[in-house]
Amino acid sequence: MKTGAEYRESLRDGRRLFLNGRKVSDLEDEPLLSAGVAEVAAGYDRYYRPGGAVGPYFAFPTTAEELRAQLHELLTWDMTTVTTAQGLQALLTAAARMRADHPEYAARIEAYYDRCKREDVRGVQAITDAKGHRRLSPSQQDDPDLYTRIVERRPDGVVIRGAKMHITAAATSHELVVMPTKRMKPGEEDWAVACAVPANAPGVSIINTTYAPRGAASGEDERYWPHSSHHNMPEGFLVFDDVFVPNERVFLAGEVGHSATFAHALGLWERLGGTAHLAEIGDVLTGFAQLIAEANGLDRVSHIREKISEMVMYATLVRAGLEAAISNAEKSPEGWMFPSELYTNAAKHFGAAEFSRMVRHLHDIGGGAILTAPSPDDLASPETGAYVRKYMRTMEGVDAEYRSRLFHAIRDYTADTFGGWQHVTMLQSGGGLYAQRMVSSKHYDMATAKRMALEIAGLA
């Protein structure tokens, strides 16, 4: 296992990084990226054990209880560790589904998994292509590189070209696992490519954006961003400019029949993890709503209580769907436990579809001060502090600092840069709502539902 210091040093590997049009030579020297490195390093130190120990994020659950325990632990991991676990689980899921047709790819995936575990590396899944004109297939685009593709096949590997978007934590990871973004058709063999690429491979560039608060990076009081100043990760726009990938790192190279296998496998694990996060976030939103209602003296007002009750139902139902996905998990021939496709997708769809309404309830309950509450510096100022203390308090036990910090936390968590990132991510993680509806419909027992209806109608 690596220590946090060894992880920090491993990032100084010559990778090609950019932020705001500038080349970044060292992640830790870039204020807008350094918090992500610090969070991952802390995770390494948390789990470090000398000798041949292996982190729990490399375990593939073999029972429902192990799956439940891992999801509980996942909520405490940094984003890079989460993407590592979900990505490797997706790869092993794909290996299980490909084994009969392509045992050589299954063997490569399992060897790659063992290598990642042995070297204690972090990885991300590079799946979403640039896509160009969305109504056109990869082969119909005016630029064939708009979907990542194989541009050269060699005896010892392949050369790929293209771009992948929305890749959380790419800059803080060691491995980039490329997967097809959709099912490819006959004639689109070059776009049916899955492989693992080191982040520092020649030809790889990572163009970063981040929701890290700009004020915190310049030294402004982190109490204004109580969550995002410590918990933020870069988002990577990955470019593969004729990158050579050796055969042992190639998991699909033209077999269109399995081009969607990787996306479906990744979707399952990302949606399960997304549901676990939505259950936790549902509790946080509900807690904030109750606290700010109490601080404002409105917790007994009927419409406020109704909104909070609806938030309670939301958090409870998302968690119930998560529990159903775990309790109805199925075991593969390899002994690996896979969550229920039906309950995972239905729960993720419900949680994502209703998320905006829960945030709306919180904002409606909290009011405009979520955005306009004076800053901590205003409270501390000898010129303005007395005014803030006088007018931001509400009652005995609710002073200006307590109420202001609640407002700042709600803004940071739901209405500032991190809040916007989280809002879109909760909707899009694991694919959009349509994909979850499609998978839910595919796995729903429609035959039984029809039979029950026919019996009621006397037509059985």
Per-residue pLDDT, averaged over 442-447, amounts to 95
Q: Of 410, 348, 9, 391, which Cα lies nearest the Cα of 174?
A: 9
Report how far residue 160's alpha carbon sits from residue 13's, in angstroms, rounded to the nearest whole number. Answer: 21
Report how far residue 191's alpha carbon sits from residue 129's, in angstroms, rounded to the nearest whole number. Answer: 11
Per-residue pLDDT, averaged over 255-283, amounts to 94
Per-residue pLDDT, averaged over 25-39, amounts to 93
* pLDDT score for 221: 67
Q: Which residue ranges form the domains of the chain, and what is each CATH number?
A: 4-255 (2.40.110.10), 262-447 (1.20.140.10)
Dump pLDDT digits (tens) for 143-185. Answer: 999 999 999 999 999 999 999 999 999 999 999 999 999 999 9
CB 121 within 8 Å of CB 136: no
CB 348 within 8 Å of CB 278: yes
* pLDDT score for 230: 87
H-helix segments, 24-143: 31-47, 64-74, 79-98, 103-119
- Half-sphere exposure of residue 260, counting CA atoms within 13 Å on the CB side? 9
* pLDDT score for 220: 57
**Annotated binding-site residue? 168:** yes
Report how far residue 138's alpha carbon sits from residue 117's, in angstroms, rounded to the nearest whole number. Answer: 34
H-helix segments, 153-255: 214-217
Q: Of 9, 29, 7, which Cα lies nearest the Cα of 17?
A: 29
pLDDT tops 80 at residue 215: no
* pLDDT score for 432: 86
Report how far residue 75's alpha carbon sits from residue 134's, in angstroms, rounded to the nearest whole number. Answer: 34
- DSSP letters along 310-375, please? HHHHHHHHHHHHHHHHHHT-EE-TTS-EE--HHHHHHHHHHHHHHHHHHHHHHHHHH-THHHHPPP
Query: Counting Cβ atoms within 10 Å, is residue 130 exposed (0-12), middle (13-18) or buried (19+)?
Result: middle
Dump pLDDT digits (tens) for 342-356. Answer: 999 999 999 999 999
* pLDDT score for 207: 97
Per-residue pLDDT, averaged over 21-47, amounts to 94
The pTM score is 0.91
What percentage of residues in the chain have a pLDDT greater than 90?
89
Q: Which residues contact 52 (CB under 8 A, 6 or more apart)?
A: none
Q: Lowest-confidence range among 118-122, 198-202, 225-229, 282-286?
A: 225-229
Per-residue pLDDT, averaged over 411-439, amounts to 91
Q: How sure is the predictor about 214, in pLDDT bands with cuts at 50, 70 and 90?
A: confident
Dump pLDDT digits (tens) for 392-418. Answer: 999 999 999 999 999 999 999 999 999
Q: Which residues contact 12 (CB under 8 A, 6 or more apart)?
A: 26
* pLDDT score for 396: 96
Q: How sure is the predictor about 285, in pLDDT bands with cuts at 50, 70 and 90?
A: very high
**205 or 55, which is more confident?**
205
